[in-house]
Amino acid sequence: MTDPRSQEISVIVVDDQPLVRMGNSLVLDTAEDIHVVGEAASGEQAIALTALLAPDVVLMDVRMPGMGGLEATRHITRTQPDTRVIVLTTFDLDEYAFGALKAGASAFLLKSTTPTALTEAVRIVAAGDAVVEPRITRQLIDAYSGQRYSEPGQHPGQPSQLSDLTPREFDIFLAIGSGLSNPEITNELNLSSATVKTHINRIFSKLQLRDRVQAVILAYELGLVGRDPIG
C-alpha cells in the first residue's frame, strides 16, 4: 500500500525570525498535501538542510544575517535542480527581488500574502510552474523597463535572440513579459486556453526557459518591456 505521506509536497521554511518561521510552517502544515520537513534560520542552514532532505520546495526569506536569501537561492537552484524556491519578502519591491528571480527562484511573494495564496503558490511551484504576484510583476516591469538596447540593423519588432519564435509565439512571449496571466492572454489574443498553453510550452522549449519567471526576465533583458504585447 502506498504511503500517503509519500505523495505530499515537502517544504523547508527559511526565515531568521522564529515567529514568522513558525507561522509559515503552521500555515503550510495545515494543508493535507503539504508537509514541512525542516526549518532554517539562515542561508547557510537552508543550503545544508536542502542538501540533506532534498525538499520539493524551499520557502526563502530574502533578508537574513550572514548569507542572505539571494545567495542561498542561487546555490540551491544550481546544486539541487529538483528543488524549487519561493522567495518571500516584506517589501513590494525589495532591491533583491529581480536578483532572486535571476538566481532561479520560481516565485516571489509578499509576507502579507494570505495563507491560502501561500499554500496555493507552494502547490503551483511544486508542479513545475512559477508564481509572481501581479503587482510585483508590474513594479518589476516599471523598475527595469528603461534597460533597453538595440542592435545595428536589427528589426525593431523581434530581437534576433527570438528568431526561432513564430509571430504568434512572439506575441505570447511579449504578453508574458508584460505580466499577463494565461487567462488574460487567452482573452487578449482570442485563443483557447489549450492553445495558449501549447504555445507557451513551445516558447519555453525553443528559448530553453525553465518557467514563466525566466521568460519575464528575458523580456526585461531584451528591452521588450513596455511594448504593446498585442501586435
pLDDT tens string 116-151: 989 998 998 888 776 766 555 555 555 554 444 333
Contact call for residues 122 and 203 (beta carbons, < 8 A):
no
pLDDT tens string 182-221: 888 899 899 998 999 899 999 999 998 877 777 877 887 7
| Distance (Å, whole) CA 109 – CA 59 | 10
Provide the pairing of β-strand 57-61 with 9-14.
Answer: parallel
Provide the pairing of β-strand 34-40 with 9-14.
Answer: parallel
pLDDT confidence of residue 13:
98
| Distance (Å, whole) CA 61 – CA 13 | 8
Among the CATH numbers 3.40.50.2300, 3.90.1200.10, 3.40.50.300, 3.30.1180.20, which is that of 4-141?
A: 3.40.50.2300
pLDDT tens string 156-182: 456 777 889 999 999 999 888 877 778
Sort residue 109 into left (φ over 0), alpha (ψ -120 to 50) or beta.
beta
Where are the chain's structural domains? 4-141, 160-221
Lowest mean pLDDT among 6-15, 45-54, 94-103, 198-207: 94-103
Residues 177-213 as b/e (b if ≥16 CB within 10 A, e otherwise) read bbbbebeebbeebebeeeebeebbebbbeebebebbb
Contact call for residues 124 and 99 (beta carbons, < 8 A):
no
pLDDT confidence of residue 113:
87
Cell numbers representing residue 151 in the block: 542592435
Contact call for residues 58 and 85 (beta carbons, < 8 A):
yes
Band the pLDDT of 6: cuts 50, 70, 90.
low
pLDDT confidence of residue 127:
82
Lowest mean pLDDT among 34-38, 79-83, 205-209, 215-219: 215-219
- pTM score: 0.68
Band the pLDDT of 33: cuts 50, 70, 90.
very high
State the CATH architecture for 160-221. Orthogonal Bundle (1.10)
Contact call for residues 130 and 213 (beta carbons, < 8 A):
yes
- R_g of the chain computed on alpha carbons: 18
pLDDT confidence of residue 228:
45
Question: Does residue 30 have a pLDDT over 80?
Answer: yes
Find residue 107's DSSP bridge partners: 86, 131
pLDDT confidence of residue 190:
92
The half-sphere exposure of 128 on its side-chain side, counting CA atoms within 13 A, is: 4
pLDDT tens string 87-118: 888 765 556 666 767 778 888 888 888 999 89
